[in-house]
Structure 1
Amino acid sequence: MRYEIHHRSTYTYDESVSIGHHLARLAPRELLHQHCEWHGVDVEPEPMSLAGHRDYFGNQCLFFALHGAHKTLTVTAHSFVVVHPPVLAAPEETPAWETLREAVRGDFLTPDVAAGEYAFASAMVKPGKQFAEYALESFKPGVTVLKAALDLNERIFRDFKFDPAATDVATPVHEAFEKRRGVCQDFAHILIACIRSLGIPARYVSGYLETLPPPGKPKMVGADASHAWVSVWCGPVHQWQDLDPTNKCRPQERHITVAYGRDFADVSPLRGVVYGSGEQSLKVAVDVTPR
Structure 2
Amino acid sequence: MSRLHIVHRTTFEYVRTVTASYNEVRMRPATLPGQVVLEASVHASPSTYSSEYRDYWGSSVTAFEMLGAHDRLEVVAESRVELSAPVRSSSPAGWSTLRSPEVQDRMSEYLAVTPTTEPARDLVQLARSAAGDHEPADAAIAVATAVREAVEYVPGVTGVHTRAAEAWAARKGVCQDLAHLVAGALRRLGIPTRYVSGYLHPQTSTAQIGEPVTGESHAWVEYWCGEWVGFDPTNLIGVAEHHVMVGRGREYPDVTPIRGVYAGGGRSTQEVQVTIIQEA
Q: Shorter-normalised TM-score: what interval?
A: over 0.9
For residues 3 and 76 of structure 1, the distance between their equivalents in structure 2, rounded to whole angstroms, comes to: 16
Structure 1 equivalent of residue 130 of structure 2: 138
- Partner-residue secondary structure (3-state), 1:29: coil
Q: 1:36 to 1:216 in 2, by over 3 A?
A: closer
Q: More deviation in 114-123 or 226-235?
A: 114-123
Q: List structure 1 segments (4+ residues) > 6 angstroms apart after TM superposition.
A: 213-220
Q: 1:218 to 1:254 in 2, by over 3 A?
A: closer
For residues 166 and 60 of structure 2, the distance between their equivalents in structure 1, rounded to whole angstroms, comes to: 31
1:16-35 to structure 2, matched below 5 A, reads 16-35=17-36
| Residue 84 (structure 2) pairs with residue 96 (structure 1) | no
For residues 42 and 240 of structure 1, the distance between their equivalents in structure 2, rounded to whole angstroms, comes to: 32
Query: How many residues align structurally?
Result: 278
- Conserved? CA contact 2:120–2:168, under 8 Å: no
- Conserved? CA contact 1:3–1:288, under 8 Å: yes
Structure 2 equivalent of residue 118 of structure 1: 110
Structure 1 equivalent of residue 155 of structure 2: 164
Instruction: State percent identity of aligned pairs.
Output: 32
Whichever residue aligns with residue 58 of structure 1, its letter is G
Structure 2 equivalent of residue 230 of structure 1: 221
- Partner-residue secondary structure (3-state), 1:43: strand
For residues 89 and 133 of structure 1, the distance between their equivalents in structure 2, rounded to whole angstroms, comes to: 29
Q: 1:65 to 1:215 in 2, by over 3 A?
A: closer
TM-score (norm 2): 0.92
1:33-182 to structure 2, matched below 5 A, reads 33-45=34-46, 47-89=47-89, 93-97=91-95, 99-103=96-100, 106=101, 110=102, 113-122=105-114, 124-141=116-133, 143-182=134-173
Cα drift, residue 159 of structure 1: 1.7
Structure 1 equivalent of residue 179 of structure 2: 188
- Conserved? CA contact 2:144–2:233, under 8 Å: yes
Q: 1:12 to 1:62 in 2, by over 3 A?
A: same
- Partner-residue secondary structure (3-state), 2:214: coil
The root-mean-square deviation of aligned C-alpha atoms, in Å, is 2.2
Cα drift, residue 16 of structure 1: 1.4
For residues 48 and 193 of structure 2, the distance between their equivalents in structure 1, rounded to whole angstroms, comes to: 38
Q: More deviation in 180-189 or 120-129?
A: 120-129
Q: 1:60 to 1:213 in 2, by over 3 A?
A: closer
For residues 259 and 216 of structure 1, the distance between their equivalents in structure 2, rounded to whole angstroms, comes to: 24
For residues 3 and 247 of structure 2, the distance between their equivalents in structure 1, rounded to whole angstroms, comes to: 19
| Residue 245 (structure 2) pairs with residue 257 (structure 1) | yes
Cα drift, residue 218 of structure 1: 11
Structure 1 equivalent of residue 268 of structure 2: 280
Cα drift, residue 3 of structure 1: 1.3
- Partner-residue secondary structure (3-state), 1:132: helix
Q: 1:111 to 1:83 in 2, by over 3 A?
A: farther
